[in-house]
């Protein structure tokens, strides 16, 4: 199976898992109103919130126009990520892009359908909250970006052809 196909399957699976998790939290668990909380562990709760912005609540969409501009912007980013992913050949380059794409699609669907993104995962240590409340899509996007940054900063791919062979072909 090609790296691109694996990436497309992963992006779709992540999108489906994100939507299933949001459905489970807001449906069967009934955590669907602001203030609703389900205590899971001493450091992790399921806490319903509506995110009208993007990462960390920036660029709040306070009107229908702003909402649809955010949808258009995130769709544009998803298209760029898709084209980028389809141009890559190595699985190590495709996988983080597929995480970003799958997460973006999950959040885009929420914003189109609901007008906001459903966030529910609340990681905390006592009163200390190192993250804003997030969802599976947000986590996938963050992990994908972190992997891409780490690869860009620390991994040097080997050239396709050793330097000795290329010098011989020139002679």
DSSP, collapsed to helix, strand or coil, labels residue 105 as: helix
Per-residue model confidence as pLDDT tens digits over 87-103: 999 999 999 999 999 99
Per the annotation, the verdict on 64 as an active-site residue is no
Residue 13 lies in a domain: yes
Give the pLDDT confidence score for residue 22 in this predicted structure. Answer: 97
Contact 48, 118 (CB under 8 A): yes
Residue 170 lies in a domain: no
Residue 78 lies in a domain: yes
Which listed residue (119, 122, 157, 164) is catalytic?
Answer: 119
Residue 162 lies in a domain: no
Which listed residue (138, 157, 160, 164) is catalytic?
Answer: 138
C-alpha distances in Å from residue 57, one per residue of 26, 108, 114, 119, 160: 20, 15, 16, 11, 43
With a cut of 50, which residues of the chain have pLDDT below it? Answer: none
Residue 164 lies in a domain: no
Six-digit token string for 63:
């009107």
0.75 exceeded by the pTM? yes
Per the annotation, the verdict on 138 as an active-site residue is yes
Name the residue among 85, 92, 52 with its Cα closest to residue 71.
Answer: 52
| Counted domains in the chain | 1
- Domain of 87 in residue numbering reads as 3-155
Residue 103 lies in a domain: yes
Per-residue model confidence as pLDDT tens digits over 7-32: 999 999 999 999 999 999 999 999 99
């Amino acid at each position: 199976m090609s790296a691109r196909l694996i990436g497309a399957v992963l992006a779709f699976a992540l999108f489906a898992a994100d939507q299933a998790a949001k459905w489970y939290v807001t449906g069967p668990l009934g955590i669907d109103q602001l203030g609703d909380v389900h205590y899971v562990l001493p450091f992790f709760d399921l806490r319903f919130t509506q995110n009208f912005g993007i990462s960390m609540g920036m660029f709040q969409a306070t009107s229908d126009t702003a909402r649809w501009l955010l949808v258009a912007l995130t769709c544009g980013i998803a298209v760029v990520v898709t084209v980028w992913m389809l141009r890559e050949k190595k699985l190590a380059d495709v996988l983080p892009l597929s995480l970003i794409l799958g997460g973006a699609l999950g959040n885009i669907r929420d914003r189109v359908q609901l007008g906001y993104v459903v966030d529910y995962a609340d990681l905390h240590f006592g009163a200390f909250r190192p993250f804003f409340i997030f969802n599976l899509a947000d986590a996938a996007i963050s992990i994908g970006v972190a992997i891409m940054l780490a690869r860009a900063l620390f991994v040097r791919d080997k050239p396709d052809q050793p330097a000795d062979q290329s010098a011989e072909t020139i002679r």
